[in-house]
Amino acid sequence: MLGLARSLALEGEGPIPGLVQAWSDALPFADGAFDAALCKGSIDHFDQPEAAIAEMARVTRAQGRVVLAIANFESAACRLAKGIDTLRERAGGAIRPGRRMYDVPSDHFTRYDLDLMLEQVGRSLEVERVEGISLGWGFPGWGRVLERLPDAAARGVVQALGAWARRLPRHADVVLLAGRPRASSTSP
């Protein structure tokens, strides 16, 4: 991420204004310094995710919001893909090579499902919103199916599945959690 930030910086090799490099479990900011904190698609890469969530809550003002978007490796698409692979294997068929979508990549430290998300986030946040994002994304062949549909039909399918995902976060590909810092997470 630092390399990307540097490549996007207008000042080239020098310090990048506003960029702070720090450990996620020891942020160098005062309690309540920010109106909001956002962590999109990375909390499962942290070796101490609960400490990182607590730090996000600490540096967010009491009425602010902390928002996390987390990959759900127990999504309906992951479970369906794993079930199909299991049936193929039992029938003596070959499993496609490489990492399967339901396998947690080696750079992820935590395999999240909704219950674990709620448990960890709930220690530092008063959770106000839990919403799913997308159903079926990443499922083998999903992109090819959508490509074969007329644009309006593909858009309609994606929108309909997105609406279901919002209501059924346990089955969604990504879960969005948002809430306010618990009183014990922020300064008085």
Domain boundaries along the sequence of the chain: 36-185
- With helix as H, strand as E and coil as C, how does 61-92 read? EEEEEEEEEEECCCCHHHHHHHHHHHHHHHCC
pLDDT classification of 187: cutoffs 50, 70, 90:
very low
Query: According to the CATH classification, is domain 36-185 in 3.40.50.150?
Result: yes
At 17 the pLDDT is: 66
Quick one: average pLDDT of 154-162?
94
How remote is the C-alpha of 64 from its chain's centroid? 20
Residues 179 and 47: their CA atoms lie apart, in Å, by 22
Answer whether residue 185 shows pLDDT above 70: no
Q: Record the tokens describing residue 69, joined without a space.
A: 């978007």
Other beta carbons less than 10 A from residue 170's beta carbon: 16
At 183 the pLDDT is: 85
Quick one: average pLDDT of 72-91?
88
